[in-house]
Copies of this chain bind each other. A is one copy, B any other.
Amino acid sequence: MTTATAGPAARPAETDALRRAMELAATDGLVLGPNPRVGCVLLDPDGVTIAEGYHRGAGTPHAEAVALANARAAVGPDALRGATAVVTLEPCAHTGRTGPCAQALLDAGIVRVVYAQPDPNPVATGGGALLRAAGVDVVAGVLEDEARALNPVWTRAMELGRPVVTWKVATSLDGRTGAADGTSRWITSAASRADAHRLRAACDTVLVGTGTVAADDPSLTVRDAARTGPQPLRAVMGRRDLPPSSRLAVPPHDGTETLHLRTHDPHEALDALWAADRRHVLLEGGATLAAAFWRAGLVDEVVAYVAPVLLGAGPDAVGDLGVTTITGAVRLDVVDVMVVAPSTDHPADQADAGPDETNVRLTLRPRKES
């Protein structure tokens, strides 16, 4: 990623303040919804911190607004004459649930703004230009890679203009996701399934096809132990009605409805999820749904759990990809390999925990041809 700087370079006190703003942005336990982590530090002309702020998630004030309010509360209305705002993300130029931050900084008397990551959100971008046009000193792109790393999925989603798609698959050594009769409890170990629940909790949407609902009747909820925020949206793709008695047709105790996307087109499904403010879809369906996303070029990441099991027959991991010869294979890059050791810390599941054995988790990304 580029670290282009427009205008003058950041001063040491500003770079230090940016690192502090990143710490604030990375505050644990934030439930961001569709929004990114952002931190802001306000400095007086001598580089001394006046106030700080960070964003706590959709529906709450942006980091800049929090910092401005903190400064006014601590010092008074004129606290910010001649001050500098240091922000991890380009201040927005967009009125959403809150007003545009770029304008708020101008109104407060800020004369200089240093930010790390240009806003990749086409709706919100333009804050830097707005500030520059108003005569503010703007320094952009300082520590940009570090700032992107605060919100890798959000950034990627904004760049793509659609939710990021992670395909989760759990297979036997011979690439089966179930036995000949369709049974699949349990191919992978209790530790792998706990890991997959953490993965699910890190996404805001879990998507399966109507075929999986009919065959497996999944609940798609995150097990409590792995849960850090609200349950991800449960989404089903396909034209068939859900069986009225299926778990996904009955709202769980938190009342979350299942979103039924009545299409076979992954683009349409992602458009609908994007419109519903979804940033990260975990694709958990069967071979047909997975193949549809692969064929549409809409898989961004793969998390594959491989169990030391042979089945010899049963559902495939992925359906027909249109690959007829080896040179047409879909090639991926291995990002991470983790040995999932057997775990005994799931006592509640012991009765139905399945095999306690070593699995392997591979994280991969589709190769971009260079």
Which A residues are within 8 Å of any B CB, using their own CB?
171-176, 178-181, 183-187, 291, 294, 302, 304, 306, 308-314, 316-334, 337, 339, 355, 357-360, 362, 364
The answer to whether A357 touches B330, judged by C-beta atoms less than 8 angstroms apart, is no
A257 to B349, CA, bound (A): 57
In the assembled complex, the Cα of A150 lies from the Cα of B202 at a distance in Å of 48
Contact B330 A362 (CB under 8 A): no
Residues on B with C-beta less than 8 A from A183 are: 325-327
Nearest-neighbor residue (CB-CB) of A299 within chain B: B310
Whether B317 contacts A321 by the Cβ 8 Å rule is no
- Taking CB atoms, residues of chain B closer than 8 Å to A186 are 326
**Total identical chains:** 2
Are B306 and A332 interface neighbours, CB within 8 A? Answer: no
> In the complex, what residue of chain B is closest to A310 when comparing beta carbons?
B330
Is there contact, CB below 8 Å, between A174 and B316? yes
- Asked if B308 and A332 sit within 8 Å, CB to CB, the answer is yes
A173 touches B302 (CB 8 A): yes
User: In whole angstroms, how far apart are the Cα atoms of A364 and B173 in the complex?
Assistant: 10
Residues in chain B near residue A181, CB distance under 8 A: 324-325
The contact of A325 among B180, B319, B359, by CB within 8 Å, is B180
In the complex, chain B residues whose CB is within 8 Å of the CB of A314? 323
B178 touches A175 (CB 8 A): no
Provide the bound-state CA to CA distance between A329 and B321, in Å: 27
